Amino acid sequence: MVVTSGAMTLCTFGAAPGVLNVLPAGITAGPAPAATVTDIVPFVNVGSFTLCTSLANPAVATATAAALGVLTPMPCTPVIPAPWQTGSPTVMVQGRPALTNTSTCQCAYGGLVTIAVPGQFTVLAP
């Protein structure tokens, strides 16, 4: 299923779901803009997951050390260094593979980001 703007995302180290935002580019799936595997910009495309619990995140590591080893979540800033994996092999959006509901990406701090709700339910992609 093709993912659209407004999709709900999850991170394994995040405290709450995030929202995927897609800038309007004229290509829609249903009423919302369709996402591509390159929609990875923090806060522009990939929204915050509220708090991060990964010790690989320097802010979490510092706060946890200051709390004498008690895990101390800190505000999430997603750092996505590479495109989403396993986009659609057949559906292209402006020359890039469309993002699908089975796509994932990795945060630089170790979290696996997945699509929980694709944002639409009418356009299917193999």
Looking at residue 1, what is its pLDDT? Answer: 83
Q: Is residue 68 part of a domain?
A: no
Q: Is residue 73 part of a domain?
A: no
Q: Is residue 122 part of a domain?
A: yes
- Is the pLDDT at 125 greater than 80? The verdict is no
How far apart, in whole angstroms, are the C-alpha atoms of residue 112 and residue 99? 16
Q: Is residue 53 part of a domain?
A: no
- Is the pLDDT at 98 greater than 70? The verdict is yes
pTM: 0.90
Q: Is residue 97 part of a domain?
A: yes
Domain of residue 94, CATH code: 2.60.200.60
Q: Is residue 40 part of a domain?
A: yes
Rounded to 5°, angle at Cα 37 from 32 and 43: 70
- Is the pLDDT at 126 greater than 80? The verdict is no
Q: Is residue 63 part of a domain?
A: no
Alpha carbon 100 to chain centroid, angstroms:
12
Domain that holds residue 4: 1-48+78-126
| Range with the largest mean pLDDT of 29-43, 49-63, 80-94 | 49-63
Is the pLDDT higher at 105 or at 86?
A: 105
Rounded percentage of the chain residues whose pLDDT exceeds 70: 94
